[in-house]
Amino acid sequence: MTKEPARMGRPLSPPQGENSVARLRRIKGWNQKQTAEALGVGQSRISEYETGKANIPAPIQKLAALLLGEPHA
């Protein structure tokens, strides 16, 4: 039986239903702590945003877009 190679790097396409915070983390390659520091929130809040337990406020969505160099709505 052959062993599959370890997956390296980021996923090629975004996961379905990915929100702006999860997208920021994936593209930047950041962990939750780094993302929290960049967005000015606690690490537990990042987890809540990513799992849908908390809604992402518009200012956080806008900051995530700015950090990615994207226009925001």
Domains and CATH numbers, the chain: 20-67 (1.10.260)
What are the structure tokens assigned to 1, written together?
A: 């039986």
SS3 content of the chain, % helix, strand, coil (to 5): 50, 0, 50
Q: Which pLDDT does position 73 carry in this prediction?
A: 53
Query: pLDDT tens digits, residue range 1-57?
Result: 545 444 455 544 556 678 999 999 999 999 999 999 999 999 999 999 999 999 999
Helices 20-28 and 58-67 pack at an angle, to 10 degrees, of 20
Nearest-angstrom CA–CA distance, 59 and 62: 5
Q: Which pLDDT does position 44 carry in this prediction?
A: 97
Question: pTM value?
Answer: 0.74
